[in-house]
Amino acid sequence: MIRDEPLVLGIETSCDETGVGIVRGNTLLADAIASSVDQHARFGGVVPEVASRAHLEAMGPTIERALADAGIALPDVDAFAVTAGPGLPGALMVGVAAAKAYALSLGRPLYGVNHLAAHVCVDQLEHGPLPKPCVALLVSGGHSSLLLVPDVAGDVRSLGSTVDDAAGEAFDKVARVLDLGFPGGPVIDRMARDGDAAAIAFPRGKYRDGTYDFSFSGLKTAVARWVEAKERAGEPVPVADVAASFQEAVVDVLTQKALQVCKDNGVHDLLIGGGVAANSRLRALAAERCEAAGVRLRVPRPKLCTDNGAMVAALGSELAAAGAAPSELSLPADSSLPIEAITL
């Protein structure tokens, strides 16, 4: 850690986690998170108004906890970074307003950053500077994207995305069909370990269609119809087998497309990020296929895969090091911010 590198505090409020991270260079000093997931569980999904109110309540205490964990005071912070988009509009506004207030009151620069680029950049906190270029597969409840990343601070290109349900969204919906609760990703991952991934031949949407896009809506519907048919026949539903077969269909498509992008673009480094990157089968299959293809794989530890303030601080630090101009205090919250806009 170089002491004269700027100390950056990052704020993340794009969905249901209030995240505050503090970094110096590529060294993580604090990563405090307050989740409102339990408040959404009874609804079976994230309720935007509930998320926004939870961010309001958690913001001050989470910042105080991060500062304490890092052993610093607020005036020690050299710059602030905040997720400006994409995400839930009301949730984003809470974080952006808080970051503006801190930056203005202390006279510090502010970087409004892209949530997806932050998911790419966070890996630097664990594995060091990113190879240039690399391919990034981002998979979460709201996003399934394939990106070509020549420079995470200045050049990120979208090559493919989901045309309907994102992978994480499909996990949540299938978990609901199986009465496994919310969020669906972790519980399906656990249930699948006791199931047979080859038990049910669920479809692989857009598997080899010549594009880098994803589609998981048909898979979700196929699972629901298969389960309904079992229930109508009065037969028990083999939940573990359904979970394992569904999960295998998802990770098969994700890894196949990601390796195809690497091959087509002559890139030998693949990064996987986003909440679904914590899935144990995705990590295992990606490692297996990358080794066979001669591609180096980078996946952050699970805590850094889900939404967090550390990833926002990491991207803010990278932008500061690259000499990027800070954002204006008129910075908006943009719920549909394109990936090409790394900072506002």
- 3-state class (DSSP) for residue 271: strand
The percent of residues in the chain predicted with pLDDT above 70, rounded, is 99
Closest CA to 18 of 39, 38, 8, 32: 32
Distance CA 47, CA 299 (A): 29
CATH architecture of residue range(s) 7-122+308-321:
2-Layer Sandwich (3.30)
State the average pLDDT for the chain.
95
Domain boundaries, the chain: 7-122+308-321, 130-302
Question: 130-302, what's its fold?
Answer: Nucleotidyltransferase; domain 5 (3.30.420)
Sign of CA dihedral 283, 131, 15, 316: positive
pTM of the entire predicted model: 0.93
Residue pLDDT, tens place only, 78-134: 999 999 999 999 999 999 999 999 999 999 999 999 999 999 999 999 999 999 999
Residue pLDDT, tens place only, 188-243: 999 999 999 999 999 999 998 999 999 999 999 999 999 999 999 999 999 999 99
Residue pLDDT, tens place only, 326-342: 999 999 999 999 989 99
Angle at which helix 239-265 crosses helix 184-192, to 10 degrees, equals: 100
H or E element that contains 122: none
Fold match flag (7-122+308-321 vs 130-302): yes
Contact assessment for residue 100 and residue 110, using Cβ atoms and an 8 Å cutoff: yes
Distance CA 258, CA 239 (A): 29
